[in-house]
Amino acid sequence: MADRIDLKYGCNPNQKMAYIHRDGGLPVSVLNGRAGYINFLDALNGWQLVRDLKAATGLPAAASFKHVSPAGAAIAVPLSDDERRMSFIPGSMELSPLATAYVRARSADRMSSFGDFISFSDTCDESTARIISREVSDGVIAPGYDDAALEILRAKRNGNYTILSIDPAYEPEKEERRTVFGIEFVQDRNGYLPSDADFSNIVTKNRSLSEEARRDLTVALIALKYTQSNSVCYAYHGQTIGVGAGQQSRIHCTRLAGGKADLWNLRRTERILSLPFRKGLSRNDKDNVIEQYLSDAPEIDVVDSWQDYFSEKPQRMTREEKAELIASVHGIALASDAFFPFSDNIDRAARSGVDAIAQPGGSVRDDRVIGRADEYGMVMCFSSVRLFHH
């Protein structure tokens, strides 16, 4: 077990000297490729996230990380036909539970997952490796790999794909340490894991919290634990569908994550699933085109250059049509890493079909936030646990 692994460079190429180190040996090893500083930050945060998801739900879990926040995270809930189609998974393709979890994590925000670092709670199998081989990704971390999976992954990126293995029995010290500007910071590790207690303090008139909502709120809360704050997460069907990370204002988190959740829901409508893409167009090009097709930005109009992408000219979806489709959405769960200071967050959440909310509570305006949730018929829990992550 090595005490030190030298890295390609630090956060940027001009920071040439970089390595990770632990007295007594590192719990991670490099099986292929050469990892960078940010790769390891993503890998170690992602591993903690999927380990927590597995511990909380008992299901295999996957995370797609970019710049030290999850673009998506999910557990192995079976995919519906439309979820397969929106993720470009043929109906004939068999998926293991772990592969299913990664398809969900990747499909949460396919634009942001481009060039991701992947984390798995379980041994990576051949089915999962075949899904990874189709996508643009920087690397993967898992507690182990099947021989067939390792062979597939080692062939990726002309043999330079980063593959990390981590000891699943490893437990870090209770204290976390980091250095900023030559000054050492020390704190207790955040050992929080959602439990029934987090959903027992229901503060709204609606007290009906389904098992599906508990599951999705659990996924959202654990995702927030490893998301740069401020952060808000929308979840559905055992996966995140919108993560708003690193915003200074809570409402901006809610809007950003809500916009991503809306795009996810629009992507699984028949209007988008049946777009007449030109034969041979790559999945990544399709992702970009769909994002542009659904954008309200006036400078973006893929319909004007439709010959580059489509076999026939598609009709542009109007704002009114999109609003009508989103208005039909329901059953979405939302969690926040800190309290909602104003009820405008509840208004924005309602626009994206949110029925269930988990948040710490503790605002001087809690009564107004609760009252607005009651107006929408939502169920809301106060966990009393803040989940800032920096």
Residues known to be catalytic: 66-67, 230, 390
CB 383 within 8 A of CB 201: yes
Structure tokens at 164: 């990390």
Residue type for position 5: I
Q: Which of 256, 255, 264, 209 is nearest to 236 (CA)?
A: 264
CA dihedral 307, 309, 314, 317 (to 10 degrees): -130
3-state secondary structure 255-311: HHHHHHHHHHHHHCCHHHHCCCECCCCCHHHHHHHHHHHCCCCCCCCHHHHHHHCEC
β-pairing, 137-142 vs 162-166, is: parallel
Element spanning 104, H or E? helix 97-107
Non-local (6+) Cβ contacts of 127 within 8 A are 94, 95, 96, 98, 99
Measured distance CA(387)–CA(224) in Å, rounded: 7
